[in-house]
Amino acid sequence: MSTNPIQLPDVVLLEHGGRAWRPPEVLAVAVLNGTLQPIWRDVSAREAVRPMLDDEALQTAVNSFRTARDLTAASDFQRWMDGRHVDLDDVADHLERIVAEPGDAHTDPGDWLWGELVCSGRLDRMLWDFARVLGVAAIATVEGWAPVPPGPIDAEAAALLARLGLPSDTLRTLRAATARYADREAEVLTDDHLARLLETRRLDLIRFDVDLVHAADADVAAEVKLCLTVEREPVAELSQRTGLQVEHRSAFTTAFARELQRELLAAVPGSILGPFPDENGLVVASLIRRHLPDPARPEVRETLIDIARRDAFPGATTGVRWPAWTPRG
């Protein structure tokens, strides 16, 4: 592994305890809790074999990226990138890494890790984790919890922490806070607790693969539904023939609008649903498949863990001040 500093913007990500916290501190906690290491290995392997998408494929991917984040207006997309200190090249590189098939080769991510974390949405998760760590540490101080000694740091973690360049006193503070949080977290993140949580949130954790056809008005939406249901025209052909925007979304139930959620839960693959109101008009949904929640799948387990953390530490982030673009902004 290189020893060069990881390139990060000098930007305040959140404020807590009268202090402004920046990217190196947030990533340090992600290293200490073991979140960053598998991401680092995965994206470095993907970058080594990243394909170059042609202009048409890349534009389609960028359009889907923007639609999924409600950034269809060019000004909104530019504001989103400016606020997060990324540019269009960062977005394009991320989209190309998604389709890469990682192998044994690796390319050091130190120069472009920030862009990948932002564009993939992983930074948002790290920010929430960081805020909870700070919040629980503050609660522990007020309530006089017994201190928890930090665990050992392995070679991979030590190398990443060295590249973040944190002062030793800051690292000691973060190690102590992370250890205290991990001790309490272990009480709620048991397999039995997560299994019980899955039973109560099962409907929320069904993953749907859906094609969303965007229509400007009711007449267009009615024509789209007619073509898909009566004429059985494939969505891809419909989009190519009409120029209508199609967004492919694979997401849990709660990622869809409430009205569409009800229809998806009652539908079978192959169903054409809608039209439903959308920010830019109407949308007709084609349900491709549904995946029942499997706790062995990483995205299901990660979501269950997030829910368990929110339930266990409901007030941990109340003292956090979030800049406008962060998850609470």
* Residue-range domains of the chain with CATH: 14-50+100-190+300-312 (no CATH), 203-291 (3.10.50.40)
Radius of gyration of the chain (CA): 22
Judge contact between 12 and 21, C-beta under 8 A: yes
Q: Confidence class of residue 148 from pLDDT cuts 50, 70 and 90?
A: confident
Measured distance CA(278)–CA(284) in Å, rounded = 10
Judge contact between 9 and 23, C-beta under 8 A: yes
* CB count in 10 Å sphere of residue 202: 12
Measured distance CA(80)–CA(174) in Å, rounded = 29
Tokens of 264: 């998806």
Mean pLDDT, all residues of the chain: 90
328 pLDDT above the threshold of 60: no
Tell me: the pLDDT tens digits for 248-298?
888 999 888 889 999 999 999 999 999 998 777 899 999 999 999 998 888
**Which tops the pLDDT comparison, 4 or 308?**
4
Measured distance CA(96)–CA(116) in Å, rounded = 11
Measured distance CA(298)–CA(301) in Å, rounded = 5
**Which tops the pLDDT comparison, 148 or 210?**
210
Read off the pLDDT of each residue in 140-165 and give the average, rounded to a whole number. Answer: 90
State the DSSP string of 234-275. Answer: -HHHHHHHH---EEEEEEEGGGS-HHHHHHHHH--TT-EEEE
* CB count in 10 Å sphere of residue 257: 14
Read off the pLDDT of each residue in 57-86 and give the average, rounded to a whole number. Answer: 89
39 pLDDT above the threshold of 90: yes
